[in-house]
Structure 1
Amino acid sequence: MQEYIPVIDISDIYQSDKNRHLQIAQRVDEACRHSGFFCITGHHISQKDIQRIKAFARHFFSLPMEDKQSVSILNNQIYRGYSSHEMEQLDYQRSIDYKEIFDMGYHLDADHPEVQRKEPFRGSNQHPEHLIAGWTKLFETHYQNMTELAKVLFRIIALGLKLEENFFNDMFFESLSTFRIIHYPGLPEQRNRVVCGAHTDYGILTILHQDDVGGLQVRSKDNQWVDVPPITDGFVVNIGDMMAMWTNDRYKSTSHRVLNIGQDRISMPFFTEPHPSQLIQCLPQCSDEQNPPKYPPVICRDWLLKRFKAAYNG
C-alpha cells in the first residue's frame, strides 16, 4: 500500500528550508501523477480536536431521527446540514450508498451580497447547537484550521507544478470548501457491502481523517481495489476533478469507494474548492500540440451544481 499510496511527512514545510520544501513537493508530485492519493503526517491539526469532533459526531448521529431532521439539508437549498441514509448516491448507476451525513461550509451572513442574490451554495451553516452545546464553535474553528492546512497543501502542489507558490491560495477566499462528517453504521450481516459507491471527488483536494476501522478503497491503474488503512495522526489526501482539469490529467482524480466491514464508522473529509466564480481551465504548462486540453473551461459553481444535482437526484 505504501508504495501506491505513500505516507509523506510534511512537517518541514512549516520551517524555512526551501530545499526541504522542494523535496516534499517532489514526493507529492510523484504521488499525484501515480495514484492521485497520498497520506500526510506532520501537519498542525490537533489530535485532541479530532477526537472531540468525533465524540460530538457520534453523539449527534445517535440522536432520534426527529432531532437530526431539525437541521435537515432539505431545510435549505445550499447543501448544508443533515442528510439521512440513502439520500446521497455517488454512484449514479446504482443506489447503494448507506450513510448519514452532516455538511457545513464557509459561513456567510444574510446580508452578504452573494446570499442576497441567492447564489448557489452561499449562506449560513445549519448547526445543531440547540441539540449539542458547543457544537458551533468547535466545528467552525475546525473548518478554519482545515482551511489553513489546505493552503499549506496548495503551496506544496504549486511548487510541484512549478507555479507561483500562492497560485491556488489566491483563489481560496470565501471558498466553497465543505467539511463533512459521515456515519457509516455497522452492518455485521452485510460485510464487504459497498456503502459509498465508486466516485471521484468534485473539487481540488480532499483531506480525509479516517477513524481506525478502515473500509476505504482506491481503484488502481490495473483496475484493482486497494485498501487504504488508517494512518495514526494522519490524513489521506486525494486529487479531485478540478485539479485533474487544471493539470489536464497529469494529476489523477482517482475513483474510490467505501466498504462496510461490520463496524460503526466515522469519516471526516474536508473537500477543498475555490471561490464559486473561479474559472477552472487547463494550465499552460500542462498542454501542448501533442497533448491538447481534454476538458472545456468551467466555472467552479457550475461544475459543483452539476455534480451535486446528480448525487441528490436533482
Structure 2
Amino acid sequence: MFTVPIVDISSYVAPGGAADERALVARSLDDACSGVGFVQIVGHGIDRSAIDGLTSALDEFYALPLDTKKRYTRPGENRGYSPPKSESLSMSLGVAAANQMNDFYEAFTVGSEWTGFPGLDLPAASYPANTWPDAAPGFRPAVETWFGAARSVSRILLAAFTDALGLEPGYFDAMVDHSIDVLKMNNYTLPEGEIELTGELTGMGAHTDFGILTVLWADQVPGLQVLDHEGRWHDVQPADGALLVNLGDAMARWTDDRWRSTVHRVDPPVIDGRIIRRRSAAFFFDGNHDAVIQTLPGHAPADRAGYPPITVADHLQAKLAGMKSGIAPDGADREARRVLAAR
C-alpha cells in the first residue's frame, strides 16, 4: 500500500537531542527518501499561530479583485503575483500540455533578497527584491513570520539528511550559507465567472521540485497526487499538524537518484463545474546560487555516467524558463519519461 510516512523530528529541533533518537529519525528519513520521496513531519516546532497567520494572509490577498492582484505581477521573474493559467509546471520537465500555459492555480512568490547577505556580491537575477502587496496590509508580516519558520525547519531537516546520508556534520554548510530560499503561496481557483472546465486544464502540472528540499503547508482539501515507482498516481493529504516534505532535483542529483525527486501534481476536486478551493504554501530550500550540484562521495554509479555537474543558479534558471516561458530544459529526460509513462 502506498503511504507517506510520518516522522517526528523533535529530537533534531531540540538542542542536544539524544543521539539514539536522532539516529532513529535519520534512518526513518532515509527509508522515506529512498522509497516514496515524500515524508510528513511532526514535532517541527512551528507554533500554531504562525500557521493561522499564514492562512489569514492568503485569504486576505486572494480575496482581492483580479485586477488589483495583477498590479503585483512581475513577468519573467520568480517573484510577485502569477495569475491563473500563466504557468505550466510540466514544462519544467519538457512535458507540454495541450494548452501550454494551462495550470489554473494563482500564486504569490517571495524569496531571499541580495540585500539579506551584506558583504556578498550576489546576482540580482537569483536574489531579486520582493514585491509586497500594499492592498493587503496584513500579508507581509504574516508571510515573513512563516518564511522564517519554514527556513528554520528546512535547515534542521538538512542536518538530519546529512546524518541519514552518512556525511560529516556540516557537509552542506558551505553550499547553503546564502541559499536561494523561495516561498510560493498557491490558491487553486479560477476568476469569478470562469467555471467551464474543458480540455486538459490542470491545477498544477506534473513536475519535480528544483532545489534541495521543499517544506509544504497545505490545507486538507484533496488534490495533491504523487507518482510512485511503478508509474501510478496516488492521492496524498497531510495529517493533522503535519508538514509535507519532499526532495528536489539537487538532492536527487547528489545521490544519483538513490533519493527521489518525486514527480507530483495537483488537481483539486471539481463539483458542479466549480473548483473546490485549495491553498498551499511551498517553501523551496534551493541552496547557494554558485553551489555546484555533483554526485556525493559514495553515490557515483559504476555502470553509467551520472548527472553532469551544474550550478544551482543554472539549474533553477532552466527549470523556471520551462515553467514560465515554455522553454523545455535540457537534462530532464528521466523525470519526463516517468510522467509520460504514468497511468
Alignment-derived partner of residue 293 in structure 2: 280
Query: How has the CA–CA distance of structure 1 residues 242 and 19 changed in structure 2, closer, same or farther, with 3 Å as cutoff?
Result: same
Please report how far the alpha carbon of residue 213 of structure 1 lies from its aligned counterpart in structure 2 after TM superposition.
Answer: 0.6
Alignment-derived partner of residue 22 in structure 1: 23
Alignment-derived partner of residue 339 in structure 2: none
Alignment-derived partner of residue 126 in structure 2: 121
The percentage of aligned residue pairs carrying the same residue is 30
Q: After superposition, what is the alpha-carbon deviation per residue over 1:162-201, rounded to whole angstroms, capped at 9, x for unaligned?
A: 0122222432222111111000017987599631111111
Query: Within 2, Cα distance between the matches of 1:164 and 1:57?
Result: 39
Alignment-derived partner of residue 39 in structure 1: 40
Query: Within 2, Cα distance between the matches of 1:301 and 1:122?
Result: 10
Q: Does 1:103 align with 2:109?
A: yes
Please report how far the alpha carbon of residue 109 of structure 1 lies from its aligned counterpart in structure 2 after TM superposition.
Answer: 3.0
Question: Do 1:57 and 1:181's aligned partners in 2 also have CA atoms closer than 8 Å?
Answer: yes
Question: Do 1:151 and 1:169's aligned partners in 2 also have CA atoms closer than 8 Å?
Answer: no
Question: Do 1:158 and 1:164's aligned partners in 2 also have CA atoms closer than 8 Å?
Answer: yes
Query: How has the CA–CA distance of structure 1 residues 165 and 111 changed in structure 2, closer, same or farther, with 3 Å as cutoff?
Result: closer
Structure 1 segment 291-306 matched on structure 2, within 5 A: 291-306=303-318
Alignment-derived partner of residue 164 in structure 1: 168
Report the 3-state secondary structure (helix = DSSP H, G, I; strand = E; otherwise coil) of the residue aligned with 1:23. Answer: helix
| Farther off after superposition, 104-113 or 35-44 | 104-113
Alignment-derived partner of residue 56 in structure 1: 57
Question: Do 1:81 and 1:127's aligned partners in 2 also have CA atoms closer than 8 Å?
Answer: yes
Query: How has the CA–CA distance of structure 1 residues 145 and 110 changed in structure 2, closer, same or farther, with 3 Å as cutoff?
Result: closer
Q: Which amino acid counterpart does residue 303 of structure 1 have in structure 2?
A: H
Q: Which amino acid counterpart does residue 128 of structure 2 have in structure 1?
A: G
Question: Do 2:57 and 2:142's aligned partners in 1 also have CA atoms closer than 8 Å?
Answer: no
Question: Do 1:207 and 1:270's aligned partners in 2 also have CA atoms closer than 8 Å?
Answer: yes
Question: Do 2:221 and 2:268's aligned partners in 1 also have CA atoms closer than 8 Å?
Answer: no
| Farther off after superposition, 94-103 or 134-143 | 134-143
Counterpart among 148, 161, 167 of residue 152 in structure 2: 148
Alignment-derived partner of residue 3 in structure 2: 4
Report the 3-state secondary structure (helix = DSSP H, G, I; strand = E; otherwise coil) of the residue aligned with 1:50. Answer: helix
Report the 3-state secondary structure (helix = DSSP H, G, I; strand = E; otherwise coil) of the residue aligned with 2:32. Answer: helix
Query: Within 2, Cα distance between the matches of 1:174 and 1:253?
Result: 23
Query: Within 1, Cα distance between the matches of 2:61 and 2:303?
Result: 49
Query: Within 2, Cα distance between the matches of 1:190 and 1:40?
Result: 35
Query: Within 1, Cα distance between the matches of 2:155 and 2:116?
Result: 27
Question: Do 1:179 and 1:270's aligned partners in 2 also have CA atoms closer than 8 Å?
Answer: yes
Aligned residues: 308
Question: Do 1:282 and 1:293's aligned partners in 2 also have CA atoms closer than 8 Å?
Answer: no
Question: Do 2:111 and 2:181's aligned partners in 1 also have CA atoms closer than 8 Å?
Answer: yes
Report the 3-state secondary structure (helix = DSSP H, G, I; strand = E; otherwise coil) of the residue aligned with 2:90. Answer: coil
Please report how far the alpha carbon of residue 260 of structure 1 lies from its aligned counterpart in structure 2 after TM superposition.
Answer: 2.1
Q: Which amino acid counterpart does residue 224 of structure 2 have in structure 1?
A: L
Q: Does 1:84 align with 2:90?
A: no
Query: How has the CA–CA distance of structure 1 residues 48 and 141 changed in structure 2, closer, same or farther, with 3 Å as cutoff?
Result: closer
Query: Within 2, Cα distance between the matches of 1:98 and 1:195?
Result: 5
Q: Does 1:219 align with 2:227?
A: yes
Moved over 4 A (4+): 110-115, 186-193
Alignment-derived partner of residue 230 in structure 1: 238
Counterpart among 178, 182, 185 of residue 178 in structure 1: 182
Query: Within 2, Cα distance between the matches of 1:161 and 1:100?
Result: 36
Q: After superposition, what is the alpha-carbon deviation per residue over 1:263-293, rounded to whole angstroms, capped at 9, x for unaligned?
A: 11111111111110111100121125x2555
Report the 3-state secondary structure (helix = DSSP H, G, I; strand = E; otherwise coil) of the residue aligned with 1:231. Answer: coil
TM-score w.r.t. the length of structure 1 is: 0.91
> 5+ residue gaps in structure 2?
271-275, 328-343
Query: Within 2, Cα distance between the matches of 1:297 and 1:189?
Result: 45
Query: Within 2, Cα distance between the matches of 1:40 and 1:188?
Result: 36
Question: Do 1:154 and 1:169's aligned partners in 2 also have CA atoms closer than 8 Å?
Answer: no
TM-score w.r.t. the length of structure 2 is: 0.84
